Amino acid sequence: MRVAVLGAGAIGAYVGASLCRAGVDVHLIARGAHLAALRARGVRVLSPRGDFSAHPHATDDPSEIGPVDYVFLGLKAHSYASAGPLLEPLLGPETALVAAQNGIPWWYFYKLPGPYENHRIEAVDPGGATSAVMPPERTIGCVVYPATVIESPGVIRHLEGTRFSIGEPDGTISERCRRFSEVMIAGGLKCPVERQLRDDIWIKLMGNVALNPLSALTRATMLEMCEHVGTRRVIAQIMEETLDIARRVGSTPEISIQKRIEGARRVGHHKTSMLQDLEAGKEMELDAIAAAVVEMADITGAPAPTLRTIYAATDLLARTALARRADAPSATRAA
């Protein structure tokens, strides 16, 4: 089996290194100092489950790799629509895309029976640009539970979790899902094939949509937000509104809100990915995590007042941060 990891960051490199342990022919696509380290020393994973190293092929040029059986997408969701030139050399007639993203995926309503079947979500598939690059029929959904960080170039710190739930958008248990699950498990990961993957999407999204934007606004860690009386109440309200939207589009995730908050609290003084991106001057993953959920509230008639308020404030924060970054070079020249 040949697998390319497009976007071999913290999660992508962790998956790639794990698949190497299963004997998979792995190719990592990365850039910068991280790529240089991957080429020179391979991937070093530091984990409470045991440290290990792997030495997959690493490149910034997918044409060196050619068509593969699976592409594991480690990119942020807002990069998907522009990923065509990187993706095209990797695609053969049967290549499957394993879309390991946070939030609502662009394929969400693809082959989903009901009033919204094949409805396009503009926030994550603007003008159909993402579907054009990543056709839903090629796609295997993936919900990522592990927490990892790049400790230094080529070195991945695995903090917790090994589960990557996967599933077909149409709910079937396909041979391509079974094969990918088998090699993930052989590499030391959990990879259940789920008929109702959308329920998993909502369970993870409950935390993402409540904690990520709020952390960007407050600069607080997960523990701080969950232990503060006021923000804990806001988190619970957003989670309740999110479950209401999920039910309106046919999902019934079985999860206690208080249990979900308590699980986030136990993570401790961890900064969410959105806060990390904000502090690093990177684009925040707001469209898939929050804007798409608000759009789904619009099409289903869900009120979601707290969600809408927090999203509006975070969207303004993201836009002003982007404008300031754009102005910074001219300000420097003027000085």
The domain locations on the chain are 2-195, 198-326
The average pLDDT across 277-299 equals 95
Over pLDDT 90: what percentage of the chain?
Answer: 90
pLDDT at residue 325, rounded to an integer? 80
Question: 198-326: which CATH topology?
Answer: N-(1-d-carboxylethyl)-l-norvaline Dehydrogenase; domain 2 (1.10.1040)
Point out the residues that are catalytic. 204
Quick check: 304 pLDDT over 90? yes
Instruction: Look up the pTM and report it.
Output: 0.92
CATH topology of domain 2-195: Rossmann fold (3.40.50)
pLDDT number for residue 155? 98
Measured between alpha carbons, how far is 302 from 295 in angstroms, rounded to an integer? Answer: 10
User: Do the first three CATH levels of 2-195 and 198-326 match, i.e. the same topology?
Assistant: no
**pLDDT for 36-53, tens place per residue?**
999 999 999 999 999 999
Which range is most confident: 38-42, 157-161, 321-325? 38-42
pLDDT (tens digit per residue) in 223-274: 999 999 999 999 999 999 999 999 999 999 988 999 999 989 988 898 999 9
Per-residue pLDDT tens digits for 55-76: 999 999 999 999 999 999 999 9
Confidence class of residue 329 from pLDDT cuts 50, 70 and 90?
Answer: low
For the stretch 188-232, pLDDT in tens is 999 999 999 999 999 999 999 999 999 999 999 999 999 999 999
